A and B are shown apart, each in its own frame.
Chain A
Amino acid sequence: MLSASLFAAFAFMTALAVMAVLWPLSRQKVARASGEADLAVYRDQIAELSRDAAAGRLPPEQAAAARVEVARRMLAAEGAASDVSLGSGRRRRIAAAVALVFIPLLGAGLYLRLGSPALPDMPLASRLAAPPDGTDVAILVRRVEDHLAANPGDGRGYELLAPVYLKLGRTDDAVRAYGQVIALLGATAERQAALGEALVVRNEGVVGTDAARAFQSALDLDPTMAKARYFLGLAAEQDGRRQDAATLWGQMVKEAPPNAPWLPMVRAALARITPPGVSSPAPGPSAQDMADAAALTQQQRGAMIQGMVDRLQDRLNADPKDLDGWLRLARAWHVLGDDGKARAALQSARTTFAGDAEAAVRIDAAANEIGGR
């Protein structure tokens, strides 16, 4: 809590404040007549008039008139009696009691509310000079940053820093650091996946195209990379391709070593997207549809998918206020290879949701995806 030196300082300061009040109270003040100060001013004014007149700076008649006026004020001031008394003992005792009780109590009370007595000073220089014991994370980060500012080619430094940034919530810095790691040390599956994860965190949990690209690169380097596979599954789920997600995650569960630390998480994700008998918020093909589709020939399957897309199209034409629907439709057309219809769907969405900034952003993102792939 309160260190001894701090307590001593507080005690000294409080004593000073109390003394500032008690000291004048202890002395009997000899009152001056209140008119005396005024008279001094007038006497000086008369002296000044005489000097000015003698030096020729003031015409004699003006000087005389002014002197008469000052003299008149002087007489008035002399008439005023002093009404200032020595002071009563009772009032002094009250004032002294107030000083003794009120100053320390109010001071301490306010300090307890506003102060942080347990916190020592933390000047930057001494924090930087302290032995690195891992308690001051901000300083550890800063040390590495300072080192990197001097040695910008040290990829290992960035590799150390990036996960810390992510933990501290400095996601922009984390993404930048992972980018540096890959640029300086070269890409590995782990690094690409870590970059992708940082991008997802920055994007508040949504797997964007940039993140998906990073995960894809990770899988290109190491097809068994669990983190990349999991997130690509998540991307599929977020795109509305639940079956793809289920396939991916199902495969992961099947191939997983029994003690894989990520296994429970993937299982949970799998369970999330295949809840029996619960209608999902993004209506996809029903289990029956899928079972049927599996049993059909390539051509028939195409026709069935086409039919589903047409149904979606009809539904949206009837009730256009469904942004997710439009975006799903656009993606579907894109997957089916008809980018013209995909763009038309986005155009309809744009017209329907004109003036909605959030919708516009999502539509633009979808348009980019379609144009980019």
Chain B
Amino acid sequence: MSDLINIISGVLIISGALAIIVGLIGVFRMPDFFTRLHAASIVDTMGTMLILFGMMLYSGFNIVSVKLLLILIFILVTTPTAAHALAKSALHGGLKPMLDKDEKE
């Protein structure tokens, strides 16, 4: 039973690390700043969630997993705020988003 839980948490952690690398590949491939922000949010959500859930599963229910949950909540609350501040000040600083179709309604 505990072997199975260890295997599941290992799979979660490795796939989280893979998600982070995919997000960084996206940061390198995307053509402009605003699309790069989308790739960066993969690192902040998918990578963080998978790795911290995997570690929570590995440690079981004790004070360690509560601390991991707190780290997850802090990251999930603060990173959208940072991304929004970055997008707004980049727009303010004169970067124009590259648009496919201007669908301003």
Are both chains from one complex? no
Residues of B bordering A, CB below 8 Å = none
- Contact surface of A with B, Cβ cutoff 8 Å: none
